[in-house]
Amino acid sequence: MNNGTGGWRAPLNLPAALEAYGVGAPIHVTDLDGDGKQDLLWNGVASLKGDGAGKFSVLQVLPRGTKSLGDFNGDGKVDVIYLEVDANDRSLLQIALND
């Protein structure tokens, strides 16, 4: 993390429980809860709440799957849409609306 003076702080360590969801998985950065601070969406399975000071805590764990971010219901909040495959090998498109 940049320290604002051209240098770098030590890397952040994310909660160990997330390692099961894939190291090197795609991470989306967005304000999920509307508090003006950047949050993380890791591999479409976990959202991490940012405190604005470079620390993150697990906010919610979603099913695995391909995901995308957008305002799908027009309320001005970031929603998550994801594709998941169930136990019967059926593809399920789901939307997690941000309230």
- The secondary structure of residue 57, as a DSSP letter, is E
The pLDDT tens digits for 26-35 are: 677 888 778 8
Mean pLDDT confidence for 2-6: 64
The pLDDT tens digits for 58-86 are: 666 666 666 788 898 999 988 888 777 77
Mean per-residue pLDDT of the chain: 73
**Burial track 38-60 (b if 16+ CB lie within 10 A, e otherwise):** ebbbbbbbbbbbbeeeeebeeee
